[in-house]
Amino acid sequence: MEYKFSNRALSAKPSRIREISARGAVDPEFISFAIGNPASETFPIEDIRKCNDMIYDKAANYALQYGPSIGDAEFRKLLMQRLVEKEGIAAEGNDILITTGSQQGLTIMPMTVTNEGDVVLVEQYTYMGALSCMRGMCAVPYGVKVDETGSIDVAALEEACKTVKNIRYLYLIPNFQNPMGVTMPLEKRKKVYELACKYDFLIYEDNPYGELRYDGEPVPSFKSFDTEGRVVYAGSFSKVLAAGLRLGFLCASNELIAKMTALKGNIDSGSSVQASLIARYYMEQGLLDPHIEETRKLYAKKKNAMVNGLDKYMSSKCSRTNPEGGMFLWVTLPEDADADAVFDAALENHIGVIPSSCFAPDEDKPGKSFRLCFATPTLEQIEIGCKRFGDVTKKFFGE
């Protein structure tokens, strides 16, 4: 039979990252700076195993049964405490919904607050998985340019607020943004929040990398100064514990969380209780903070290796960001570059990166940059990969 797919299904494109990975899979020399996985060597396997054992010792029936859609009550309480302590978020008036990975929040948000054709403001380059979730709910991402610091241009944002209709929310990754690795300063966060109040839209503060800071001082979250219930804060255990747990959470006003929980029930009834208990027991034993500290050290080393490698090997005509945390940095080619040719040449030279076009809400503005992930490769792969990528840039743009 000939299928009639929905508009959502027709809009779903095969992931470029998967294409690049597939290419890598058949090339034994391939090094990937493309895929954005956390480093497997950070997974605290033995401690997670012990938490698992605790479940089977004392809570097996609970873990193996359906749980509440909103998630385990004790785990939610612990998470709220952590947000109060680490992020200065107010517990009162806010609630927490456990999600199946923070990816799920990216679907729940447009599901809850957008109708077909409603607009979500995003930065000029942003996480592709967020864009496809918006499109998957028939919302329309609208890209706002970034300024020279790499985060959203406030004047351009206000211009968009004035001219674009049916804006429902602004999607941001304020810390170590994916793909650019940039952190938005506090002053700008406050201005952006004022615009949200003035033009009456929500802010989705996606913060999967926030705890992975190696340099500089933490910047207060939007949610910490959210007096109006406009901010939905999204956290994740994928980068600080293990991606395979499929465990994230949303923190928002009670009213928003109630609606989101009802819709979450449709998506999967409720997230795995077992996964929640693993993270809960891990936190209850005080293991999370020391573990994050170790992960930070490793990622700092990897980030420095990539920064040094690029500075050593890359053409001086290209620029790069220098993230204070997270997993990614951003390389920009000269203005007249042929980014597709550089991308292809990099693949030929057995090195995978992701072109900025993948992160562009607007297909007409593909950009001439690449995202490089330093979290997944080993230090040795980073050195070799930077040399390969650097050689390609020199071939195109000279020393």
- According to CB under 8 A, which residues from 52 to 81 bind a copy of itself? 52, 56, 60-67
DSSP structure class, residue 152: B
Cα angle value 259/261/266 (rounded, 5°): 105
Tell me if residue 356 falls in helix, strand or coil.
Answer: helix
Tell me the CA distances in angstroms from 216 to 123, 211, 224, 268, one per residue in order. Answer: 23, 12, 19, 39
Would you count residue 26 as binding a copy of itself (CB under 8 A)? no
Q: How far is the CB of 256 from a copy of itself (least distance, A)?
A: 7
Q: Which is nearer to a copy of itself, 25 or 91 (CB)?
A: 25
Q: CB under 8 A: which stretch of 110-118, 149-157, 304-312, 387-395 binds a copy of itself?
A: 110-118
Q: How far is the CB of 388 from a copy of itself (least distance, A)?
A: 25
Site for a copy of itself in 319-378 (CB under 8 A): none
Block residue for tokens 């009213």: 255
Would you count residue 129 as binding a copy of itself (CB under 8 A)? yes
Would you count residue 192 as binding a copy of itself (CB under 8 A)? no
Would you count residue 315 as binding a copy of itself (CB under 8 A)? no
DSSP structure class, residue 224: G
Would you count residue 122 as binding a copy of itself (CB under 8 A)? no
How many chain residues interact with a copy of itself (CB under 8 A)? 77
Sorted by sequence, the CB contacts under 8 Å of residue 277 that are 6+ apart come out as 51, 54, 55, 59, 62, 63, 72, 75
Q: How far apart are CA 84 and CA 303, in angstroms?
A: 29
Would you count residue 168 as binding a copy of itself (CB under 8 A)? yes
Specify the long-range contacts of residues 62-66, CB closer than 8 Å, at least 24 apart: 62/273, 62/277, 63/273, 63/274, 63/277, 64/273, 64/274, 65/273, 66/269, 66/270
DSSP structure class, residue 133: H
Q: Which is nearer to a copy of itself, 72 or 324 (CB)?
A: 72
DSSP structure class, residue 333: -
Q: Bridge-partner residues for 253, per DSSP?
A: 94
Q: How far is the CB of 245 from a copy of itself (least distance, A)?
A: 7
Q: Is 13 exposed, middle or buried (0-12, 13-18, 19+ CB in 10 A)?
A: exposed
Sorted by sequence, the CB contacts under 8 Å of residue 29 that are 6+ apart come out as 350
Q: Work out which of 54, 90, 186, 243 binds a copy of itself, going by CB under 8 A.
A: 243
Q: Which is nearer to a copy of itself, 15 or 149 (CB)?
A: 15
Q: Which is nearer to a copy of itself, 115 or 308 (CB)?
A: 115
Closest listed residue to residue 39, CA positions, set 393, 383, 298, 289: 298
Would you count residue 228 as binding a copy of itself (CB under 8 A)? yes
Q: Work out which of 16, 218, 272, 287 binds a copy of itself, going by CB under 8 A.
A: 272
Q: How far is the CB of 19 from a copy of itself (least distance, A)?
A: 13
Q: Which is nearer to a copy of itself, 104 or 332 (CB)?
A: 104
Q: Which is nearer to a copy of itself, 120 or 342 (CB)?
A: 120
Q: Work out which of 22, 25, 155, 262 binds a copy of itself, going by CB under 8 A.
A: 262
Q: Work out which of 85, 116, 335, 364 binds a copy of itself, going by CB under 8 A.
A: 116
Q: Which is nearer to a copy of itself, 5 or 336 (CB)?
A: 5
